[in-house]
Every structure is written in C-alpha cells, then in structure tokens.
Amino acid sequence: MAKAWRKRADLRDPARLEAWLYRMARNALVDYLRARRPCAPVDPDAVAAPGTDTADEIARCVARAARCYLGTLPAIYQQAVRLAEEEGMAHAEVARLLGISPTAAKSRIRRGRQLVREKLEACCRFEFDRFGRVIDCTLRRPCGRADPESAG
C-alpha cells in the first residue's frame, strides 16, 4: 500500500483505481516470489557444452533428421532451403538461380524452414540452453524414412 501511495501520481484514470491497485499488488507479489525462487545448483557434467561429444552427437542427430524431413518437402521449398542452407547462398543468389524474385525466394526459404521445424518438433522433443542451442533431444516417433543418412 505504501508503494501505491508513493506512486499515486502515476494513476492516469481515477475511475480505474481498483485495476491499478490490483496490478501494483500483483507486480509486487511477482517481484517478491522471483527474489525468493530457489536456485538449484547445475551439475556441469549433466549439461552438454558446445564442443563436447554429447553436444556434437545431438547436433549430428538433429541435422540428420532435418535433412530427412527436407527431402519430404514440396520441390519449390526443398530447392530454396537446400541452396540457402547447404550451399550457403544468400536469398538474392537463390532468387537468381531459381528465376524468382528475392521476396519469393525469402518466402520459400522461410516456409521451407518452418515446415522442417514443424516436422522435427512432431518427431522429437528438444531442450535448449539459455542461448537457444539444442542440449538434448528425445525421439517421439521415427522419421518415417528407412535411412535418414541417405536423405540429402
């Protein structure tokens, strides 16, 4: 209540006093709970750091599955994504090579990547570190092709 009293000048609409007080109380409670949240110690041996065998194996597994699913995409998306990802071409180069506009190339690459991602998320559960790197991957169901190594 003391905080609300000090911040009373911030109230823009006196008719919404109740909602404003509720929001102030909620924010104060969230701040309090965040400050008290217990921090569990992290076991450094349990985390796959980049460059370790575990992290490398996970990266290889995800790449194999992505190549497998890339092979199941419609040809227009498959070509665009292959050129951008495997050949490292810029969107403008992909557009020139495929004879389409740069906007169309960018759209095909984005849609193709999204389709591959959706298929990956349907077959695998991923865990990410705070930087967005995959640190664990659990198979939900098989890829659907006999040999993912041969895909791509």
Q: CA distances (Å), 56 to each of 74, 75, 134, in order?
A: 29, 30, 10
20-33 pLDDT per residue, tens: 888 888 888 877 77
Give 43 or 4, the one with higher predicted confidence.
Answer: 4
Number of other residues whose CB lies within 10 A of the CB of residue 45: 6
Give the least confident one: 5-9, 70-74, 87-91, 129-133: 129-133
Return the sign of the alpha-carbon dihedral for residues 54, 59, 65, 68: negative
Residue 144: band (very low, low, confident or very high) from pLDDT cuts 50, 70, 90: low
Class of domain 53-150: mainly alpha
What DSSP designation does 98 have?
H
Cβ atoms of 65 and 124 within 8 Å: the answer is yes
Give pLDDT tens digits for 68-91: 888 888 888 999 999 998 888 999
Measuring CA to CA, which residue among 38, 66, 81, 51 is closest to residue 123? 66
Domain map (residue ranges) of the chain: 2-36, 53-150
Higher pLDDT, 151 or 97: 97
Contact present, 58 and 137 (Cβ < 8 Å): yes
Q: What is the pLDDT of residues 52-69, one digit of tens each?
A: 566 677 777 777 778 888
Residue 18: count other Cβ atoms within 10 Å of its Cβ: 8
Looking at residue 49, what is its pLDDT?
Answer: 54
- Asked if residue 95 lies in contact with residue 105, where contact means CB atoms within 8 angstroms, the answer is yes
Identify the bridge partners of residue 127 per DSSP, sorted by sequence position: 136
